[in-house]
């Protein structure tokens, strides 16, 4: 029979006190996860976390290797989690339960970040936050990335709370004169599978959400000289009202 380590013979109350010192979150309930600067990543070796590729946000859009990292100002001595399974189980609750993980625009980090966790740990994560890039600014790469994220969250996670920030645009002359879409309008667009909202239908495949927060992040956009831009501007004016109501009715359990 394997002898229990001296640390595990310490009363659990004392162990919890020690863990609280080793995992000092500075009262930050939300942990911000971002893509690491590819140039910094290139200089680090070896790499323990999953590597993935991101495209630059400039016009060149060059693909570079990177990984995820925590940018929230906390003090986490996670090496203790590798000592044995018992310590991992005890500290995982402190690290993951009742905490939100926010990825901002760096949704490329979502699948690698959660994939590096054990299948026993993932159910502890019940809340995430992310930003959905405006539809007129996305390219095929962005659409594929979003689709993969939704598939992973649907199949491999058990989310209960979601904070979704949707990027929108406001023309120089504002939204006056543009239509505002209601929840029933979005329901109609759902029924006809309106292509510019394909990302929404993929989002709706995620089941089990009990709490949803929808916000908008509005930037300037060009005048509505095309049907795509006209819809984007009208959609943007509807994010926090009609679109939010629609998502709550379709996505939230028991709504």
Asked whether 149 and 112 are in contact (CB, 8 A), the reply is no
Percentage above 90 pLDDT, the chain: 78
What is the 3-state secondary structure of the chain? CCCCCHHHHCCHHHHHHHHHHHEECCCCCEEEEEECCHHHHHHCCCCCCCCEEEECCCCCCCEEEECEEECCCCEECHHHHHCCHHHHHHHHHHHHCCCEEECCCCHHHHHHHHHCCCCCCHHHCCEEEEEECCHHHCCHHHHHHHHHHHHHHHHHCCCCEEEEEEEEEECCCCCCCCCCCCHHHHHHHHHCCCHHHHHHHHHCCCCCCCEEEEEEEEEECCCCCCHHHHHHHHHHHCHHHHHHHHHHHHHCCCC
pLDDT of residue 138: 81
Please give the pLDDT value at position 2: 58
Q: Is the pTM of this model over 0.85?
A: yes
- 76-98 residue pLDDT tens: 999 999 999 999 999 999 999 99
- The pLDDT of residue 1: 47
pLDDT value of residue 5: 83
- Per-residue pLDDT, 3: 66
User: Which tens digit of pLDDT belongs to each residue from 195-236?
Assistant: 999 999 999 999 999 999 999 999 998 887 888 899 999 999
Summary mean pLDDT of the chain: 92
Q: How confident is the model at residue 254 (pLDDT cuts 50, 70, 90)?
A: confident
- Which of 7-16, 106-115, 175-184 is modeled with the greatest confidence? 106-115
Q: How many residues does the chain have?
A: 255
* pLDDT at res. 66: 94
Binned at pLDDT 50, 70 and 90, residue 255 comes out as low
> Is the confidence at residue 60, as pLDDT, over 80?
no
- Would you list the domain boundaries of the chain? 1-108, 126-255
- Name the more confident of 57 and 101: 101
């Amino acid at each position: 029979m394997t002898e229990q380590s001296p640390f595990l013979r310490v009363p659990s109350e004392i162990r919890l006190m020690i863990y609280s010192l080793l995992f000092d979150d500075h009262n930050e309930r939300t942990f911000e996860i971002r893509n690491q600067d590819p140039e910094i990543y290139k200089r680090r070796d070896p790499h323990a976390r999953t590597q993935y590729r991101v495209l630059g946000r400039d016009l060149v859009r060059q693909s570079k290797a990177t990984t995820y990292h925590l940018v929230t100002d906390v003090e986490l001595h996670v090496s203790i989690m590798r000592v044995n399974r018992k310590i991992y189980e005890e500290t995982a609750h402190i690290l993951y339960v009742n905490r939100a993980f926010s990825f901002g625009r760096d949704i490329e980090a979502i699948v690698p970040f959660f994939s590096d966790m054990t299948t026993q740990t993932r159910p502890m994560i019940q809340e995430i936050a992310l930003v959905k890039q405006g539809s007129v600014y996305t390219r095929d790469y962005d659409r594929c990335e979003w689709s993969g994220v939704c598939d992973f969250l649907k199949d491999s996670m058990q989310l209960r709370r979601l904070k979704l920030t949707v990027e929108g645009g406001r023309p120089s002359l504002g939204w006056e004169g543009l239509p505002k879409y209601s929840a029933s309008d979005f329901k109609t667009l759902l029924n006809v599978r309106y292509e510019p909202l394909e990302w929404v239908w993929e989002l709706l495949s995620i089941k089990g959400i009990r709490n949803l927060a929808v916000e908008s992040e509005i930037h300037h956009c060009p005048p509505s000289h095309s049907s795509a831009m006209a819809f984007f501007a009208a959609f943007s004016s509807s994010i926090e009202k009609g679109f939010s109501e629609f998502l709550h009715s379709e996505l939230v359990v028991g709504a």
